[in-house]
């Protein structure tokens, strides 16, 4: 590691009085330096790391890559912490950029009754300067892609999207855009959120092969899966979707396009809604040179016509939104969680060794089972207790999801997920 600079050059100057207050707080709050934080994360992997800077600051600089991480703006800490971390014995480390806000935040948590709180005194910029792991909101600033494609196995690539919602900054690349390079063309999974994003993905594909893109498979009818399809059609590519996905696109496609245009503004340039060219029902087999690819709909799960691409000889599945791990899965009004659990057995029976989910990097079946199947079973069991007891929707909102609250977007989705499961289970 490079030398720690204390105070870092990014630190703004403070008045004498303000510095005095900060010095006094630092004496009252337990402190960790960089080596201490590394040691704690290794010895106590359940440590919750909280960045108290604003989301805009994280957009610009990134944040510490920790297994259990939250961004809670210092001004909202008192209002949000108990929902994020209900157990006050949980080990917590707070930090900011330059150790000015985080000591105050740590003391606030101690006053709220949290018993194992420390302040990371070296701050984010020293962590980054030391070359330690960070995450960034835009990993490919010269491209519309959030991150450039990575090769998962020879011939199979995925541009891993942001796990946050689609924004102007990430250009709607908040899902995985995968592709398979065969000896008889390229198959792409997901058209992308807009024309320019699809074009950027194609540019990256052309850097890696001279084979033409022949097919684009839509995993579902969400905007980030299908709105870039008009770019691909201009290239003569065949767009493939499940029949139920196409029906949903007919119903909602223009509304989804309007919403994307409001968010993306100039980045929506040339994007138009188009329908797929080729529909399938349960299974579509493609022979591309020496590669055998199966386009599968195994049953109801996340949304209409959920589609995955299975490479049986490679034991790899591009699973789409049937499987989640880093990001909390979203439950829509028409998501049937009971049938999703049933579909899971068929999915797992494929025997995949490598799973490329709809969001987050490649992983294995045990991991996606833990954070998808097991979460659904847990949530349904907790909500069933509420229903059996004659509880209300407000009671359902409060069911314990603490084991899953470290997942990305959990703060936005946990409450609505519980509510939607409650409303469905009332009539099961």
What are the DSSP calls for 237-304, one per residue? PEEEEEHHHHHHHHHHHHHHHHHHHHHHGGGGTT------SEEESSEEEEEETTEEEEEE--S-SSST
Asked if 392 and 347 count as a contact pair (C-beta separation under 8 A), the reply is no
Say what the pLDDT of residue 198 is.
Answer: 98
- By 3-state DSSP, what share of the chain in percent is helix, strand and coil, each rounded to 5? 40, 20, 40
Burial class (CB in 10 A: 0-12, 13-18, 19+), 78: middle
Short-list 268, 261, 206, CA closest to 231: 268
Distance between CA 49 and CA 97 in Å, rounded?
14
pLDDT band at 5 (very low <50, low <70, confident <90, very high): low
- How many of the other CB atoms lie within 10 Å of CB of 3? 8
pLDDT of 115 over the 70 cut: yes
Phi, psi for residue 58 in degrees, rounded to 5: -65, -35
Q: CA 350 → CA 127, 223, 295, 308, distances in Å? A: 42, 28, 13, 11
**What are the tokens at 99?**
């150790």
Residue in this structure with the two tokens 């490679």, named with its chain if needed? 314
Buried b (16+ CB within 10 A) or exposed e, 205-219: beeebebebbbbbbb
Phi, psi for residue 142 in degrees, rounded to 5: -90, 0
pLDDT, mean of residues 14-41? 93
Residue 194: partners with Cβ closer than 8 Å, 6 or more residues away: 171, 172, 227, 228, 260, 264, 267, 268, 269, 271
Phi, psi for residue 263 in degrees, rounded to 5: -80, -45
- How many of the other CB atoms lie within 10 Å of CB of 402? 15
Say what the pLDDT of residue 6 is.
Answer: 66
125, containing H or E segment: helix 123-129
Instruction: Indicate the SS3 state at residue 354.
Output: strand
Asked if 334 and 194 count as a contact pair (C-beta separation under 8 A), the reply is no
Say what the pLDDT of residue 3 is.
Answer: 52
Distance between CA 38 and CA 377 in Å, rounded?
34
Say what the pLDDT of residue 2 is.
Answer: 52
Mean pLDDT of the chain: 94
What residue spans define the domains of the chain?
A: 16-135, 150-379
- How many of the other CB atoms lie within 10 Å of CB of 176? 26
pLDDT, mean of residues 221-238? 98
pLDDT, mean of residues 123-130? 93
Say what the pLDDT of residue 393 is.
Answer: 95
**DSSP tag of 74:** G
Asked if 238 and 215 count as a contact pair (C-beta separation under 8 A), the reply is yes
Domain 16-135 CATH (choose: 3.40.50.720, 3.30.70.270, 3.30.360.10, 3.40.250.10): 3.40.250.10
pLDDT, mean of residues 54-81? 89
Say what the pLDDT of residue 13 is.
Answer: 80
Lowest pLDDT segment from 47-51, 136-140, 227-231, 233-237? 136-140
Instruction: Indicate the SS3 state at residue 177.
Output: strand
pLDDT band at 391 (very low <50, low <70, confident <90, very high): very high
Q: At what angle do helices 77-84 and 102-111 cross, to 10 degrees?
A: 60
Using only C-alpha atoms, the chain has a radius of gyration, in whole angstroms, of 23
Domain 150-379: CATH superfamily, name plus number: Ribonuclease Z/Hydroxyacylglutathione hydrolase-like (3.60.15.10)
Q: CA 218 → CA 3, 83, 364, distances in Å? A: 48, 36, 22
pLDDT band at 265 (very low <50, low <70, confident <90, very high): very high
Strand positions, DSSP E, 382-422: none
DSSP-assigned beta bridge partners for residue 181: 186
pLDDT of 126 over the 80 cut: yes
pLDDT, mean of residues 126-132? 92
pLDDT of 334 over the 80 cut: yes
Say what the pLDDT of residue 139 is.
Answer: 72
Say what the pLDDT of residue 9 is.
Answer: 65
pLDDT of 142 over the 80 cut: no
Is this structure's pTM higher than 0.85? no
pLDDT of 404 over the 70 cut: yes
């Amino acid at each position: 590691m490079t030398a720690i600079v204390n105070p870092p050059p990014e630190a703004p100057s403070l008045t004498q009085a303000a510095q005095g207050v900060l010095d006094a707080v630092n004496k009252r709050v337990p402190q960790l330096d960089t080596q201490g934080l590394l040691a704690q994360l290794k010895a106590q992997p359940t440590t919750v790391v909280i960045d108290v800077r604003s989301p805009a600051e994280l957009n610009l600089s990134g944040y510490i890559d920790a297994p259990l991480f939250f961004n809670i703006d210092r001004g909202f800490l008192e209002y949000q912490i108990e929902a994020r971390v209900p157990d006050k014995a949980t080990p917590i480390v707070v930090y900011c950029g330059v150790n000015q806000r985080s000591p105050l935040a740590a003391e606030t948590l101690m006053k709220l009754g949290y018993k194992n709180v420390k302040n990371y005194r070296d701050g984010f910029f020293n962590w980054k300067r030391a070359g330690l792991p960070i995450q960034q909101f835009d990993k490919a600033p010269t491209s519309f892609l959030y991150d450039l494609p990575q090769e998962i196995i020879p011939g199979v690539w995925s541009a891993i999207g942001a796990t946050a919602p689609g924004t102007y900054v990430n250009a709607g690349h908040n899902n995985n855009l995968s592709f398979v390079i065969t000896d008889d063309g390229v198959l792409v999974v997901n058209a992308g959120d807009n024309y320019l994003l699809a074009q950027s993905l194609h540019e990256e594909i052309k850097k890696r092969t001279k084979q033409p893109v022949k097919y684009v498979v839509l995993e579902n009818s969400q905007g980030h899966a299908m709105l870039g399809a008009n770019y691909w059609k201009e290239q003569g590519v065949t767009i493939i979707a499940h029949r139920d996905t196409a029906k949903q696109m007919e119903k909602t496609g223009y509304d989804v396009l309007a919403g994307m245009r409001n968010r993306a503004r100039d980045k929506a340039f040339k994007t138009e809604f188009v329908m797929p060219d080729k529909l399938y029902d349960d299974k579509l087999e493609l022979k591309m040179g020496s590669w055998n690819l199966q386009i599968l709909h195994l049953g109801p799960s996340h949304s209409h016509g959920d589609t995955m691409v299975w490479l049986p000889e490679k034991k790899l599945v591009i699973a789409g939104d049937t499987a989640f791990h880093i990001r909390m899965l979203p439950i829509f009004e028409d998501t049937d969680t009971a049938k999703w659990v049933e579909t899971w057995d068929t999915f797992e029976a494929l025997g995949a060794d490598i799973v490329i989910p709809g969001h987050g990097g490649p992983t294995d079946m045990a991991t996606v089972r833990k954070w998808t199947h097991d979460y659904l079973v847990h949530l349904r069991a907790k909500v069933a207790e509420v229903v059996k007891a004659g509880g209300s929707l407000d009671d359902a909102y409060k069911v314990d999801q603490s084991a899953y609250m470290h997942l990305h977007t959990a703060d936005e989705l946990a409450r609505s997920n519980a509510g939607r499961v409650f409303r469905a289970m009332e009539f099961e």
